[in-house]
Structures are given as C-alpha cells and as structure tokens.
C-alpha cells in the first residue's frame, strides 16, 4: 500500500512539476509538484507517512545541488555577512514575538501555540519542540505547513516580478560548472561527499543536519578541488521530490482541521509579508544587499526550497543559504530559551 501510494504520489507530482516548468513559471517544478501532490493526497482520508529515509535522501541531494554554487570567491564574500545575519535574526525574532501576541489576542489559540506557529522555522522541528511548552502540536504543525506552502507558491513568482533586472545575476553560458560536469567520476565523488557530509551532521544531531552537512561538504569539495558536479537533469527532479514531500503532509484530515485555523492563518499570512519586506528593506538599506538577495534571505521558507529557487533565478545563492542557515539555527536554538523565559 505504501509503495503504491509513493509511486502514484511521485507520478502525480512529476506531471504537475514538468507542466508548470514547461509553462516557464518561476520554481515551476517545485510549485507544480507541490500542488499536484496536495491534490492527489486529499483523495486519501489517512495517507501513509512519507518515509523518513527518502526525505533525508532528498535533502542531501538538494544540498549537493546548492553546495556546488560555493566557490573560493564566495568564502571571501561571506566574511561581510556578519552584520546582515545579526540583523536578520533580531528582526525575525522581534516580528515573531509581535505577531504571537496579536494572534493570541485575536484568536482562541494560546500564547505558546501562537508563539511557535508564528516562528520562521521548520514544520516538524517546531511542532515537536512546542509540545514541551504546553502548545498544541497539531495547530503549530498545520500553521507551519501553511507558512511553508504559502512561501513556496506565492513568493518566488511575486519576487521575480518585482525584482529589478540588475538584481538577477545572468550567468554567462557555461559559467555554472556544476551543470557542466566533466565525468561520471565527478558525479560519484560529489554524491559520496554529499552523503558523507549529511550523514555526519545527522550523527552530530545538528538541526537540519542532512541538508546543511551536504551543503558544507560539497562547498568544501568545490573550494578545495573545484570538482563538485551534478548532472543537469537532477535539478528539476530534486525540486519535484521536494514538492512531493511537502505536498504529502496535506491530507483530507488536514483540510478539515484547517477550518478552525482560518483566522490564525490570515494573521500568519500578514506576518509573512511583514517579515519578508520589512526585514528585506532594512537589509537593503543598512547592509546594501541587493533586493533579490535581501528578499530571498528574509522570506521564511526552507533552506532547500529557497536555495533551489534562488539558484534557478540566478541570485546570490551562497549568501541566501548562509542567511537561512543562521535563521534556522537561531529559531531552533533561541526560540525554546525565549519560550522558557516567557513560560
């Protein structure tokens, strides 16, 4: 049953992903597979759980794709990112706090449930942490899922339309080495390195360890040897599998339970726009980041999703990945401390 479900889920996701990609929609493979998987999944009253092992493989390969964007010149550039990272973390946590109080006042949710629901962190990670502080895990998980899906569907096409042309770094033909690999040996070396890095970070129990370890290992390989590579057709498939995983979390039961969270979801949507555009404005003015980099850095999506989408649009992916890495680490590391203090 689970195997048949997974096959049909990915067939549906693949069809949706390639349809929107063919229509040249920004991040079309990811958005199309996500929507198709959600639609397919609502046919099941109780859908089988997405295998954890497959999710980790998707994250590791996503990290491999993203990590190849790091070069020696990027390392020098990242030294200038200390101030933007500090500003990003402070603003996101402050906005999180403000909207948590607003959600508590305007809805029936408790403060702790609102606090974790408004946090710009991971869907499953925050839901599990929230239970330790008396929050309702189901409501936190559903609202976090709503945040992630909304970010992926709404923000990439919107940001692409409002970006000045100069914010998009057009790569010269053949400039992106990772999409022009020279040999099968290069593919296998990169794949082994990605799995080694992801596995090591998982063993160390680092938050988002699979993708962060993969990115770190591949970036290190590319900086030292300049040989990190992946086959070009992998990129849309990585987006499709990522979309299928996120879409698999939406079931018929999720839709039914979502009715009582309509007002909190609307408040959360407002928070997403405030968080993205206000923080991006400050980063743009104070740190002189271009609008594309600032917006993608401040938009609270997943590391894999935002990294893959920014790579597709030709933005400064290393900077964006670094910012999202510290966002996740700050949310998972600092938020429980704040909750404990407030609790």
What's the rounded mean pLDDT across residues 162-177?
A: 50
Percent of the chain with pLDDT over 90: 25
Q: How far apart are the first and last CA of the chain?
A: 43
Confidence of residue 158 (pLDDT cuts 50, 70, 90): confident
Count of residues making up the chain:
343
Question: Is residue 317 scored above 70 in pLDDT?
Answer: yes
Of 211, 155, 158, 167, the closest CA to residue 316 belongs to 167
The whole-angstrom separation of Cα 25 and Cα 64 is 24
What's the rounded mean pLDDT across residues 192-213?
A: 87
- How far is residue 185 CA from its own chain's centroid? 30
Which pLDDT score, from 0 to 100, does residue 83 have? 92
Of 158, 176, 207, the closest CA to residue 317 belongs to 176
Which pLDDT score, from 0 to 100, does residue 180 have? 45
Model confidence over 88-136: pLDDT tens digits? 999 999 999 999 999 999 998 999 999 989 988 766 556 656 767 888 8
- Cβ atoms of 88 and 297 closer than 8 Å: yes
Confidence of residue 332 (pLDDT cuts 50, 70, 90): low
Model confidence over 268-304: pLDDT tens digits? 999 999 999 999 999 999 998 888 889 988 988 777 7
- Cβ atoms of 77 and 319 closer than 8 Å: yes
Which pLDDT score, from 0 to 100, does residue 194 have? 93
Model confidence over 229-264: pLDDT tens digits? 888 888 888 889 988 887 887 777 767 766 778 899
What's the token pair of residue 13?
A: 């996701």
Q: What is the mean pLDDT of the chain?
A: 82
Model confidence over 37-78: pLDDT tens digits? 888 988 876 678 888 888 889 889 988 887 887 777 767 777
Non-local CB neighbours of 97 within 8 Å, separated by 6+ positions: 115, 338
Question: Is residue 169 scored above 60 in pLDDT?
Answer: no
Confidence of residue 143 (pLDDT cuts 50, 70, 90): confident
- Cβ atoms of 298 and 143 closer than 8 Å: no
Domain boundaries, the chain: 67-233+249-342
- Cβ atoms of 198 and 63 closer than 8 Å: yes
């Amino acid at each position: 049953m689970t195997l048949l479900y997974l096959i049909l889920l990915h067939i549906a996701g693949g069809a949706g992903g390639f349809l929107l990609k063919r229509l040249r929609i920004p991040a079309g493979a990811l958005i199309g597979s996500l929507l198709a998987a959600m639609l397919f999944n609502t046919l099941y009253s109780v859908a089988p759980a997405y295998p954890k092992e497959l999710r980790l493989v998707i994250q590791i390969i996503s990290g491999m794709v993203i990590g190849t964007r790091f070069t020696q010149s990027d390392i020098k550039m990242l030294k200038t990112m200390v101030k933007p990272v500090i500003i990003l973390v402070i603003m996101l946590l402050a906005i999180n706090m403000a909207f948590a109080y607003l959600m508590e006042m305007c809805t029936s949710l408790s403060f702790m449930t609102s606090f974790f629901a408004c946090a710009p962190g991971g869907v499953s990670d925050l839901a599990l942490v929230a239970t330790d502080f008396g929050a309702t895990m189901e409501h936190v998980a559903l609202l976090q899922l709503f945040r992630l899906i909304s970010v992926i569907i709404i923000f990439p096409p919107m940001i692409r339309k409002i970006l000045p042309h100069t914010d998009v770094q057009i790569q010269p033909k053949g400039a992106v080495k990772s999409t022009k690999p020279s040999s099968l040996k290069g593919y296998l070396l990169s794949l082994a390195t990605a799995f080694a890095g992801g596995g090591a970070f998982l063993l160390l129990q680092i938050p988002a360890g699979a993708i962060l370890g993969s990115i770190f290992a591949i970036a290190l390989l590319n900086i030292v040897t300049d040989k990190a590579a992946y086959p070009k057709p992998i990129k849309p498939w990585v987006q499709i599998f990522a979309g299928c995983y996120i879409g698999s979390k939406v079931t018929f039961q999720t839709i039914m339970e979502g009715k009582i969270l309509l007002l909190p979801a609307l408040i959360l949507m407002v928070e997403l726009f405030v968080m993205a555009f206000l923080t991006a404005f400050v980063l743009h003015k104070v740190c002189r980041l271009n609008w594309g980099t600032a917006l993608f850095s401040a938009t609270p999506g997943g590391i894999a999703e935002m990294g893959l989408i920014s790579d597709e649009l030709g933005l400064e992916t290393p900077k964006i990945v670094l910012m999202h890495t510290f966002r996740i680490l700050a949310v998972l590391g600092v938020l429980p401390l704040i909750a404990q203090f407030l609790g």
